[in-house]
């Protein structure tokens, strides 16, 4: 299992995707809006990549949790 977070990157800045199940965590989607208190929406999301083709930036993901 692989875990990729906003602060998790390889030394070259590119995280390698593998055939293993991968969780992608974005602890606060809309960070800029949250930090500046703009009143715009932000949320917390967790997703598991079901299939991905990074060469064409295509991915099928399953939304597991969205905080309101």
> Was 29 annotated as part of a binding site?
yes
The response to whether 28 counts as a known ligand-binding position is: yes
Residue 48 vs residues 22, 34, 35: alpha-carbon distances, Å: 6, 24, 26
Q: How far apart are CA 67 and CA 49, in angstroms?
A: 19
CA gap 34, 19 in Å, rounded: 34
Annotated binding site for Mg(2+): 6, 26, 28-29
Which residues are known binding-site members? 6, 26, 28-29
């Amino acid at each position: 299992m692989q875990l990729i977070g906003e602060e998790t990157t390889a030394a070259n800045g590119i995280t390698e995707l593998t055939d293993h199940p991968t969780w992608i965590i974005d602890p606060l989607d809309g960070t800029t809006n949250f930090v500046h208190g703009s009143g715009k929406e932000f949320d917390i999301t967790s997703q598991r990549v079901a299939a991905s083709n990074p060469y064409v930036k295509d991915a099928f993901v399953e939304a597991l949790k969205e905080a309101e």
